[in-house]
Amino acid sequence: MASPRVCILRAPGTNCDHETAHAFERCGAVAQRIHLFELLENPALLRDFQTLCIPGGFSYGDDLGAGVVFGSQLQSQLAETIGEFLLRDTLALGICNGFQVLMKARLLPGGTTTWPPNLDQPPAATLTWNENGRYTALWVRLRCQTTQNVFLRGINEIELPIAHAEGRIAVRDPAILDQWTTQGQIALCYTDEQGHTPSDGTLLPYPENPNGSLANIAGLGDPTGRVLGLMPHPERFIDATQHPRWTRHQLRGEGAGLQIFRNAVEYFQK
């Protein structure tokens, strides 16, 4: 079977595209870095790919807010192209700034069920400034909260680095959490050192919940399980030696983050 093709969609300010492409290639995919301007000129390019990934960085300098400009371009200039892509048996992944882009474009949390978005209605959720008001970079513990997301298959707990200033999930109506839970859309949550996340939604303190995100949410999926957005960076932990305590924990071989990319590749190989 031919290797699945991954479009790593970058924009001015994106700076994690090489690492993300490398992670997919390590798992057997063919990854191609495509500039947003190329796709705007020729939207049909996306038909050649099975997975769309928007990597981390600071698209457009985050000047109007993290992911705002990039997200608005997907929403307005590429709405038909993205819709056509989502209707196929495809996957979409947004990492850090990519997650912010998916949220600002309103591709998440609804995915195919709400695309293209109704711009006459305000968004149900967004990613906004960390509670501490600062850019924060550290390692966090995460627990998978769903069994249906393709990218998270076989993952129960995982430790990954975060590096962002606007990673706090905020919602217009807290009742939407029940909908997300029912539909298996809460993908990843921050945990304490024992791997526990409060079941009643009580916020963990900093640094366990590094941004004050509602219900300790670190990642969201869509109802189909084919779309994932997460604030942590799995592409920064694809080798054991990238962990800051790899010698103390005697880690060897692959880093835990590689499984997220492998799951995407194996989805098409199976």
Kindly list the catalytic residues.
96, 233, 235
CB of 55 within 8 A of CB of 16? yes
CA 60, 62, 68 angle in degrees (round to 5)? Answer: 85
Separation CA 9–CA 40 (nearest Å): 11
Separation CA 237–CA 40 (nearest Å): 32
For 108, the token pair is 């998440």
- Dihedral of CA 250/253/255/36: which sign? positive
Helix axes 97-105, 68-76, angle to 10 degrees: 40
CB of 45 within 8 A of CB of 8? no
> Order of strands, edge to edge, in the sheet holding 136-144?
30-35, 5-10, 51-54, 91-95, 227-230, 217-221, 186-190, 136-144, 157-164
CB of 221 within 8 A of CB of 185? yes
Question: Please, how many CA atoms are within 13 Å of residue 152, restricted to the half-sphere of its CB?
Answer: 27
